[in-house]
């Protein structure tokens, strides 16, 4: 079985603060998203790493505490059921049938840096293939509680933060994603990220 990209290990705070300092700064962006549509980042989950499974199944498998899978088509780990710990709230999530629509919606794959945030931060100038690659970047994806994800929406860290026990890891992942994709931050976002690193 192909193993998806692992979750990050301990945070090297000086290195992450250096990465944050190196990010370009842009003026606070208006609430409007001129030209943004979700389909600018592709339609649905792809198998961007070529392991036969889409990114949703890869992330569900990677982030599970316990998991039940089955082969389906080219995928050797179609996820059917399992247990996860939502990093945003610390809640334990147990699902017995992820093919049932209600359960499938109750655990979601979150873009830590939301697609619309990426659009505002520089992705609006990217070609379509780069935007599709960003949408499927395993380093920017987490399996999380559905309602919490809906509450987060497309807020940056100045507008939404997870529980204190996850703020360090969340900020580090946000910064790493923006650095990896050469995306900018605004002043309030930069301040919030710096504060969150204080929980490391």
Which residue, 46, 47, 82, is CA-closest to 61? Answer: 82
Question: Distance between terminal CA atoms of the chain?
Answer: 34
Cα(153)–Cα(175) distance, integer angstroms: 18
Helix (H) or strand (E) holding 78: strand 75-85
Strand ranges (DSSP E) for the chain? 64-72, 75-85, 92-95, 107-111, 141-145
Q: Residue 181 — φ and ψ, nearest 5°? A: -105, 10
Cα(24)–Cα(198) distance, integer angstroms: 21
Give SS3 for 106.
Answer: helix
Compute how many other C-beta atoms are within 10 angstroms of the C-beta atom of residue 196: 22
pLDDT of residue 6: 42
pLDDT of residue 2: 33
Break the chain into its structural domains and give their ranges.
13-23+47-197
User: Which residues of the chain register pLDDT less than 70?
Assistant: 1-8, 29-33
pLDDT of residue 8: 58
pLDDT of residue 44: 85
pLDDT of residue 34: 77
pLDDT of residue 5: 43
pLDDT of residue 3: 33
Instruction: Write the CB contacts of 153 (distance below 8 Å, at least 6 apart in sequence).
Output: 114, 160
pLDDT of residue 103: 93
pLDDT of residue 173: 98
């Amino acid at each position: 079985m192909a193993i998806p990209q692992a979750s990050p290990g301990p945070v090297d705070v000086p290195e992450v603060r250096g990465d944050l300092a190196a990010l370009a700064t842009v003026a606070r962006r208006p609430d409007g998203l001129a030209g943004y549509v979700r389909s600018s980042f592709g339609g649905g989950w792809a198998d961007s790493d070529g392991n036969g499974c889409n990114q949703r199944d890869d992330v569900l498998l990677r982030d599970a505490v316990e998991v039940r899978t089955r082969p389906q088509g080219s995928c050797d780990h179609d996820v059917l059921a399992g247990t996860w710990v939502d990093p945003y709230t610390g809640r334990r999530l147990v699902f017995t049938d992820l093919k049932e629509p209600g359960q499938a919606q109750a655990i979601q794959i979150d873009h830590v840096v939301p697609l619309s945030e990426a659009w505002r931060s520089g992705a609006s100038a990217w070609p379509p293939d780069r935007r599709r690659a960003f949408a499927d970047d395993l380093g920017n994806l987490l399996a999380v509680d559905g309602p919490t994800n809906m509450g987060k929406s497309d807020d940056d860290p100045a507008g939404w933060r997870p529980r204190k026990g996850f703020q360090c890891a969340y900020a580090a992942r946000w910064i790493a994603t923006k650095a990896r994709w050469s995306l900018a931050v605004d002043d309030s976002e930069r301040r919030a990220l710096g504060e969150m690193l204080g929980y490391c």
